[in-house]
């Protein structure tokens, strides 16, 4: 009991800094809150609705450090945040948490106008790995070439056998040079490019 009270007091101290401290102090607070684990999760989740976008970003980062599955859906909701930095932070955090259930909504971020958000969403899907493959394969059929390009890139880095046939289709028939390029790199990385060429 005393241990739990101590953790709650620690969480309160670091939360105060996370909300109003200087940048370096906020980073330290986010790390400390992450190490506290479950004791900091509920108050951090509450901060996802804070008026200050910077506070929301730091809360997201701290939640990613806790490793809690409790944060997945609230972080998915933040992908619709009005602030792009918050959306980027949420995408990165979902990747850190290897949140397979977030893969379909992360894949929709590949069509964002913001290049950093698309890259972070692609990186998050890559970190999720095999669990993101169905969403990424579906993204290979998206009408926007940007989406197909990022999906092919992520699939190449995952290296899933389930993506081979769809990647072959992109490599052979896609109208986008970049989508074809990343599909080619993906197939080469899996040691399959020569086989595709021979066929």
Topology of 103-199 in CATH? 1.25.10
Confidence at residue 196, expressed as pLDDT on a 0 to 100 scale:
62
Closest-CA residue to 150 (of 100, 99, 115): 115
Looking at the domain 1-97, which fold is it?
1.25.10
Summarize pLDDT for 141-188 with one digit per residue, the tens: 999 999 999 999 999 999 998 999 999 999 999 999 999 999 999 999
Q: How confident is the model at residue 5 (pLDDT cuts 50, 70, 90)?
A: very low
pLDDT at 110: 96
Say whether 103-199 and 1-97 share the same fold: yes
Distances (CA, A) of 153 to 131, 133, 179: 16, 12, 8
| DSSP H helical ranges for 1-52 | 2-20, 23-36, 38-47
pLDDT digits (tens, 9 = 90+) for 31-65: 999 998 888 999 999 999 999 999 999 999 999 99
d(CA 79, CA 84): 9
Contact 172, 128 (CB under 8 A): no
Q: If you average pLDDT over every residue of the chain, what do you get?
A: 90
In this predicted structure, the answer to whether residue 3 has a pLDDT above a threshold of 80 is no
Spell out the domain ranges in the chain.
1-97, 103-199
């Amino acid at each position: 009991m005393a241990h739990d009270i101590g953790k709650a007091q620690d969480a309160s101290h670091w939360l105060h800094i996370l909300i109003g401290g200087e940048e370096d102090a906020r980073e330290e607070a986010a790390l400390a809150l992450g190490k506290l684990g479950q004791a900091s999760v509920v108050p951090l989740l509450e901060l996802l609705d804070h008026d200050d976008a910077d506070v929301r970003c730091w809360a997201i980062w701290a939640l990613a450090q806790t490793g809690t599955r409790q944060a997945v859906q609230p972080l998915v909701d933040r992908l619709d945040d009005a602030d792009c930095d918050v959306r980027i932070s949420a995408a990165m955090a979902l990747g850190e948490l290897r949140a397979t259930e977030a893969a379909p909504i992360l894949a929709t971020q590949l069509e964002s106008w913001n290049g950093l958000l698309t890259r972070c969403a692609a990186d998050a899907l890559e970190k999720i790995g095999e669990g993101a493959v169905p969403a990424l394969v579906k993204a290979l059929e998206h009408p926007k070439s940007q989406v197909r390009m990022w999906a092919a890139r992520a699939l190449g880095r995952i290296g899933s056998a389930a993506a081979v046939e769809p990647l072959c289709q992109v490599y052979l028939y896609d109208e986008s040079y970049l989508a074809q390029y990343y599909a080619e790199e993906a197939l080469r990385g899996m040691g399959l490019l020569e086989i595709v060429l021979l066929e």
